[in-house]
Amino acid sequence: MKVRQASGALAVFAEAGVLAPADVHVARRLGELAREADEAVLLATALAVRAVRSGSTCLELARLRDVTVDEEQDPADLDALPWPEPDVLDRALRRSPLVVGAPTGGLRPLRLVDTDAGTLLYLDRYWRQEQAVRDTLADRAVEPPAVDLPQVQQGLQRLFGSASAPDRQRVAVAMAATRWTTVLAGGPGTGKTTTVARVLALLHRPGLRIALAAPTGKAAARLQESVRAQAAELGLPPDLTAVTLHRLLGWRPDSRTRFRYDAADRLPYDLVVVDETSMVSLTMMARLLEAVRPDARLLLVGDPDQLTSVDAGAVLADLVARPVTGPPDPVLAQLVGADLTAADDPAEAGLTPTEHDRLRNGIVRLSRGRRFGGTIAALAVAVREGRADRVLDLLRSGSEDVSFVEDGDAGAVQRDVVTAATALTRAARAGDVDGALARLEDHRLLCAHRHGPHGVAHWDRRALSWVATALGEPLHAAAWYPGQPLLVTRNDHEAKVYNGDTGVVVDRGGLLAAFARGSTPVLLHPSRLADVQTVHAMTIHRSQGSQYDTVSVVLPPTASSLLTRELLYTAITRARRHVRVLGTEESVRAAVGRQVLRASGLRRVVLT
């Protein structure tokens, strides 16, 4: 890769594929403005920019060399690069005019922070956002809300009945009553939205202002459907509406990172629920927390083991993993009818010691999966725990739930694609909207990449060709036809379709595009869909929040930086009945062994 006007270490690291042109340009420009010529400092600056671009909020100086490149690269080449010694770099940064606290200089866009796990280098903006999140959460934990114990106990009895040892859902609902901030974590199908509905039912009173939100339109629509489906049973208002976080905070056309509601103009809600929090970036979380009133309850919901935000930060995972800081909660123990403060015997509350400790940070993790079981559940656990041998044993076990295609034979994938598409087309041609929408969830091809031989574009073309051959007629992605599966790629609030929504073209005496919305699907003329594409395959990232009877997961080569434990876990947990993995033993081992270790200070103890 050629980078114009780069020299020295910046040029060497750019040629090796470690740095992108943008990383080099920012480092050079900042160096010019601050009159900083030290090559080690400029390299660290470029790597800090690269870290944010790669999803981290900072650069760990002790792990400076832990970089990956997408190209086929001999690891020895990376080791041979002129990496600065950590202690030399540390001293150079502390005296650099680019760093906050240095003895000279006016432009200081970088910040060094010492933590219990080593020194972190930040772009100052992200340090300020992390500090804002940390400080706001700490402030919200100082003075807990007043709790009417008898009233809350009656509510828990109504919602859960009597229990000698409370289950995690009951603990989560009780915690939401005793704290301003609660984190509800759990894997797919563990009952997170069921628990959310019961939190709403426990806290609901006349005049209570409730906000339901999620990072994407699709996730917001699913949250709304789930809550409304339980509204009648739980005595909730039937018209609760969920929106995207951007819409909740008040999108501003003049700024990508600032919103109408902020610290000076707070959100007018008493209870704010955010689903799919694993997809929320650090910047968005900082903006949300500053906008939520100090006396409003906040419930953050999500799976910390899934893929994280496409932008910098892994806030949910950081919050779940951070050190225990809060005191025991005796009010919570009274509410759930067990001594949760007794750390020497947490089994009395049905909690592991780790889960018991997390309660002090306002975190409850649900664990009983209801979406799938058997080998799929065992496979997901093995991936999450990083047990590669166990994962391979399960993939090769011959189970009806799981299969492993190691030889590149796509015959089984072709059969599933054709079978699902044929059933989808039959229902669509008959005008059976509900049937066609149901068939959309029969099978889905999932890929890590968008392009290349292991990417979405390649597999979409193959699938379209298979379907056209099976139906005996030409099909074109650019022309509407009954049975055409659709993927929305941008929010359209007027049409009520959202980025990530999947739908299907049906024949109702004329072609219409149908999208699932609870019991009443959205039907639109296809011409109203400006940002939509035919979809037989999608990225694993886009599949978050969805589920299918069968998924076929295409793993990229081991050199791909996208091949991670979180990617494989997310793909596997999209399936209800069967998971098929297409790859090699090496790619499986690489995925299981490589975690998305986004550098962050949120889970660290900052040394002052």
CA distance 300 to 279: 11
Instruction: Provide the 8-state DSSP code for 557.
Output: P
Q: Do the annotations mark residue 192 as ligand-binding?
A: yes
HSE (side-chain half, CA atoms, 13 Å) at 132: 19
Q: Token match 């067990």: residue?
A: 338
From the list 290, 349, 308, the residue with the least C-alpha distance to 54 is: 308
Cβ neighbour number for residue 500 with a 10 Å cutoff: 23
Q: Do the annotations mark residue 186 as ligand-binding?
A: yes
From the list 154, 153, 284, the residue with the least C-alpha distance to 214 is: 284
CA distance 109 to 334: 49
What is the end-to-end Cα distance of the chain in Å, rounded? 41
Contacts 24+ apart (CB under 8 A), 207-210: 208/270, 208/271, 209/268, 209/269, 209/270, 209/271, 210/240, 210/269, 210/270, 210/271, 210/273
- What are phi and psi for residue 306, nearest 5 degrees? -80, 175
CA distance 502 to 437: 9
CA distance 598 to 38: 27
Beta carbons of 38 and 68 less than 8 angstroms apart: no
Cβ neighbour number for residue 78 with a 10 Å cutoff: 18
Q: Do the annotations mark residue 369 as ligand-binding?
A: no
CA distance 582 to 555: 6
Beta carbons of 126 and 282 less than 8 angstroms apart: yes
Strands of 16-117 (E only): list them. 59-60, 110-115
- Which strand ranges, in their side-by-side order, compose the sheet holding 118-123? 59-60, 118-123, 110-115
Q: Do the annotations mark residue 191 as ligand-binding?
A: yes
Q: Do the annotations mark residue 469 as ligand-binding?
A: no
Q: Residue 199 corresponds to which tokens in the numbers above?
A: 């939190």
Helix axes 168-178, 149-160, angle to 10 degrees: 150
CA distance 52 to 304: 20
Q: Do the annotations mark residue 193 as ligand-binding?
A: yes
Task: Give the type of residue at 256.
Answer: R
Q: Token match 């039937």: residue?
A: 238
Q: What is the DSSP string of 113-160?
A: EEETTEEEEEEHHHHHHHHHHHHHHHHHHHSPPP--HHHHHHHHHHHH
From the list 276, 270, 262, 176, the residue with the least C-alpha distance to 224 is: 276
From the list 315, 232, 231, the residue with the least C-alpha distance to 274 is: 315
Q: Residue 396 corresponds to which tokens in the numbers above?
A: 């090769």
CA distance 465 to 414: 10
Farthest CA pair distance, the chain: 76
Q: Residue 185 corresponds to which tokens in the numbers above?
A: 């974590």
The 3-state DSSP composition of the chain as helix, strand, coil percent (nearest 5) reads 40, 15, 40
Which parts are annotated binding residues? 186-193
Which parts are annotated binding residues for ATP? 186-193
